[in-house]
Amino acid sequence: MLVLTRRPGESVMVGDDVVITVLEVRGDVVRLGIRAPRSVPVHREEVFLELRAANQEAASSSEDAVEALSRLIGSEGEKG
């Protein structure tokens, strides 16, 4: 891991087009600004990990489960 020391207002470049700027340091909280191209998604790590897990779980839904879901949606649709 590359370890750098930066002051508020100073930045780090990642590749040619990702800029990470330290905006503010207050106590044990650091505020960062991140400028990246649209093709580079930026997420908080815990959000990314949660989404990745949910997506991977969703991608492995069984056929039987999907069939059952389809029937449920059909019947709910009739009710509504």
Partner 1 sequence: MSLEASAQNAEAKAAAAGDLPTIEFVTPMPGFPGMTSFVLVRLDEVGLLNSLRSVDDPELRFITIAPHQFFPQYEPEIDDETIAALGTKDPSQLLVLLIVTAGDTPRDSTANLMAPIVVDPMTMRAAQCVLTGSNLPVRAPLA
Q: Which is nearer to partner 1, 16 or 76 (CB)?
A: 76
Residues 25-64 that bind partner 1 (CB under 8 A): 38-41, 43-44, 47-48, 50-59, 61-63
C-alpha distances in Å from residue 9, one per residue of 1, 3, 22, 30, 59 = 22, 17, 6, 12, 42
Q: Note whether 52 and 62 are within 8 A (CB).
A: no
# chain residues binding partner 1, by CB under 8 A: 34
C-alpha distances in Å from residue 2, one per residue of 24, 45, 67 = 21, 18, 49
Q: Which is nearer to partner 1, 32 or 65 (CB)?
A: 65
Residues 6-25 that bind partner 1 (CB under 8 A): none
Q: What are the residues binding partner 1 (CB under 8 A)?
A: 38-41, 43-44, 47-48, 50-59, 61-63, 65-74, 76-77, 80
